Amino acid sequence: MTLEFENESGTELGLPLEETARMVIEAALDELKCPYEAEVSLLITDNARIQEMNRQFRQIDRPTDVLSFPMIQFDQPGDFSFLEEEEPEECFNPETGELVLGDIVISAEKVLEQAEEYGHSVKREYAFLIVHSVLHLTGYDHMVPEEAEWMEQRQRQILEQLHITR
């Protein structure tokens, strides 16, 4: 797996951000039975920058905790079988052959705020946001209650497998 990682936040979270992200993304993709090596980009930023991005891409003018920018439109969430029929240049990096899933943007300030608010560790909040975003990158959403419940169960399951609990 290739992780394009950048931390522009200037906020110290007190954990190995890149290594943790890699571990969490790999666990999530394994749980989803992704049959390909994958490429994900992760940007750690601050509230001002994520608010700007949220305004630009979602027309919501406030900071958020995480933004997901999928590169692939899944017909069925988590169903990678259709990729066999796609043109390779549409979904795969021609240099590495890896499946290009998309980009994740996380506000470091929101990680700290929400860890305190929810009463769990910074590592748990950071890992949760990454798992949540990987699910979005693979076609899952939480717009209806059934989807939201499924995502919550899967997120909890992946984090428990990593022994990252509340």
Binding-site entries for Zn(2+)? 132, 136, 142
Which positions make up the binding site?
Answer: 132, 136, 142
Question: For residues 150 and 37, what is the distance between their CA atoms, to the nearest angstrom?
Answer: 24
CB 150 within 8 A of CB 140: yes
Say how far apart CA 86 and CA 164 lie, in whole Å.
36
Query: Under a CB-based contact definition with an 8 Å cutoff, are residues 30 and 154 in contact?
Result: no
Sign of CA dihedral 134, 135, 139, 141: negative
| Exposure letters 99-130 (e unless 16+ CB within 10 A, then b) | bbbbbbbbbbbbbbebbeeeeeebbbbbbbbb
What pairing do the DSSP bridges indicate for beta strands 2-7 and 66-70? unpaired
